[in-house]
Amino acid sequence: MPTLNWIGKEAVVNHHQQVPFRLLKDVPELGYGDPGSGNLIVQGDNLVALKALLPYYAGQVKCIYIDPPYNTGDESWVYNDNVNSPLIRDWLGKVVGREGEDLSRHDKWLCMMYPRLALLRLFLRREGVLFVSMDETEEGALRLVLDEIFGRENALGTLVWKRRSSSAMRGTPLSIDHEYVMCYALEAGSALLYGLEKGVESYPLVDARGRYASTDLTVGMGREARPNQFFPITNPRTGKVYQPNPERVWRFFPQTMQEVIAKELVIWPDDFPERRMERPRYKTYYDPDTAKPKPVSSWVESVNALQGAAEDAAEWDLTILGSGMNQEGGKALQEIFGTKVFAYPKPISLVASLIQAASRSDDLVLDSFAGSGTTGHAVLKLNQQDGGKRRFILVEMESKIAREVTAERVRRVAQGYSRVKGEAVPGLGGGFRFCELGEPLFDEGGRIRETVSFADLARHVFFSETGEPLPRERVTTSAFLGECRGVGVYLLYNGILGDKSATGGNVLTRAVLAQLPPFDGQKVIYCAGCLLGPDRLQAERIVVRQTPYEIRVT
C-alpha cells in the first residue's frame, strides 16, 4: 500500500500515546439545560481534549464528523488556515523540535492532523464511521494518511457536494465548485450506514456461509462472437460437464472461471449452473418510511437528501441555494446571532445528512473541530424530527469561539431565539455541559498529582468505571460515589475517611471496610492498596482497582 512521508512524521506517528491525560473541569455557568443529557462541549486543544475524553468514550462513538482546516494558506481566517497559530507553532516546536523549523505548511498540517486522527479512531464503535470534510488542497495527502491509520480496506468511499451556487474565477480558468467528504470505518465489514447497498430482500437465499442470491452465469454475445468464452465447465463434486448456451457465453474467461469455481461462487442446480452473489460486506438498513433499501449516494444533495422537499428547508432556518452550500451555513448563523460571526461554516443540512446516514436512537456523535457548533445543532434538530436521543461531543480549541459561538449557538437553538426580523423560533430542547481542560492527572512519575482534589478524581473514576457522568448535584464528600446499573462505586483517596496517614484511609482494611457506607450489591473500590484476602473480597462482592495504575490512560 502506498504510504506518505513528510518532515516530522517520525515524531508524531506515536505522539498520541505520549499526550498526558488531563481532567475535565466543569464550567456550570456556560452549560445549558440538563447536565445529564449526555451532550458535552469541551474547550481546549483537541489533541489534549481527545486524550482526556478517551477513558470516558473509547469505543462508544457511532459517528465522527470533522471539518478541519483545509490548509489553503489563508492566515486571515479565524482558524488561521496556514497551520500557523501560536498554539500549533508552540506544539510543533515541542514535539518535532529543531526539525520543525524546516517544515513547509503541508508538513505542519500533516504533523497536526496525524495524532488527532489516530486518537479519533480509538473512539469509534466497531460499526462506527468517520466523515472528514476536505477540499483539493490536502485531499491526496489526507487520503494516504487515513489509509495508513484506518487501513485502506476500511475506506468506504468519498462523497462529493457542491459548495457554491455559481462558478467563480479565482486565479484559474477552472472553478472548483465542490468539496469532498471522506468516509472511513473502523471495520468495513461491520460498518452501519442507513442504508448502504442492497437489503436482505435482495439476497433471499441463505446457507452456512450467509445470505446470497443466484444470477445467470452467462451473458449475451451482442454483435461480437467470443470464441474464447465457449468452453466446458465441470461440477467438481459430480463431474457433470456443462456447455454454455449457443446464443450466450460464460460470464468469465477460462482462468477466471476456474478461480470462481474454486472459491465456490458457482451454484450447481440439476439443470444449469448459476452464479452465486454474496451479500455485500456492509450491513444494510431500510428506509423507515418505505421499508425498502435506500442507498447512501456519494453525491450529497444536502437539503433535499435530508428533507425530501425544498419547502421543508424552512424548518432548518435555511435559504435554499442549491444543494446545501456554504452560503447556507452563513445564513443560518446570521439568523441565530443577527450578524456574521463565522466565515464559511458548513451548512447544517450537509452535516445533518451525514449524521442521519450514520446514526439512530441514542448514538453518540463526535466533532473535534467544532467551530460554530453546526454538528451540535444538527444533532438536536434530528432528535426533534425523529424522536431520537442522539448525543454529541464538541471540541473547540479557541476559548472565545467555544464560549461565544459554539456553546452560545447550541444554547440558543436548544432554548429558542428570535430572528433578526423579530420572529420567534421555538427551541429544539436538549442541554449540554461545558468543560475546560484541567491540569494533568498524573505527574512525570505516574503518580496522581497532589493538587488533584477528591472531587476531581471521584468524577473521573465514576465516569471511567460506569461510562456515566457523576451527577453535577452530587456532593462528593463520601467514599461511596454512587450506583450505576446495580454496581456501587467507591473511592478511597486523599483522606476521605479522615485518616490521611500513608497507610490509613486510602488502603482497604477490615476497619476501613466497616466505615464505608453500605451497598447491597456488587462493589468496585478504588484504593491505594488492599489488605483483605480473596475469600473476604468474594464474600463481600468487592472488586478492587488499585490507584493510580488501574485508572491510568494507556
CA end-to-end span of the chain: 29
- Cα 405 from Cα 407, distance rounded (Å): 6
The count of other CB atoms within 10 Å of the CB of residue 339 is 8
CA 41 to chain centre: 15
Mean per-residue pLDDT over the chain, rounded:
80
- Cα 416 from Cα 424, distance rounded (Å): 7
- Cα 521 from Cα 516, distance rounded (Å): 14
Provide the β-strand partners of residue 207.
210
Q: What is the pLDDT of residues 206-260, one digit of tens each?
A: 788 877 878 888 877 655 556 677 888 999 989 999 888 777 888 888 888 999 9
Q: What is the pLDDT of residues 5-22, one digit of tens each?
A: 988 888 888 888 878 878
Q: ω before 548 within 30° of 0 (cis)? A: yes
Q: What count of residues does the chain have?
A: 554
What pLDDT does residue 198 have?
A: 39
- Cα 166 from Cα 177, distance rounded (Å): 8
Confidence bin at 308 (pLDDT 50/70/90): very low
What's the rounded mean pLDDT across residues 344-373? 89
What pLDDT does residue 500 have?
A: 55
Render 156-181 in DSSP notation, one character per residue: EEEEEEE--SS---SSSSS---EEEE
Provide the β-strand partners of residue 192.
283
Q: What is the pLDDT of residues 171-211, one digit of tens each?
A: 667 777 788 999 999 999 888 787 543 344 456 677 888 77
Exposed e or buried b for every residue in 460-497, given b needs 16+ CB within 10 A? Answer: bbbbbbbeebbeeeeebebbbbbebeebbbbbbbbebb
- Cα 242 from Cα 98, distance rounded (Å): 71
Q: What is the pLDDT of residues 382-428, one digit of tens each?
A: 999 888 999 999 999 999 999 999 999 999 999 998 876 678 889 99
CATH 2.60.120.10 fits 9-196+287-436, yes or no: no
pTM of the model: 0.69
What pLDDT does residue 228 have?
A: 72
The count of other CB atoms within 10 Å of the CB of residue 7 is 18
Which residue type, as a one-letter code, is found at position 225? A
- Cα 253 from Cα 275, distance rounded (Å): 14
Q: Where are the domains of the chain?
A: 9-196+287-436, 204-278, 441-551
Would you say 457 and 550 are in contact if contact means Cβ atoms under 8 Å apart?
A: no
- Cα 472 from Cα 457, distance rounded (Å): 14
Q: What grid cell was written down for 273?
A: 449452473
**Spatial CA neighbour of 157 closest among 181, 121, 122:** 181
**According to the per-residue pLDDT averaged within each range, which of 170-179, 198-207, 294-303, 350-359 is highest?**
350-359
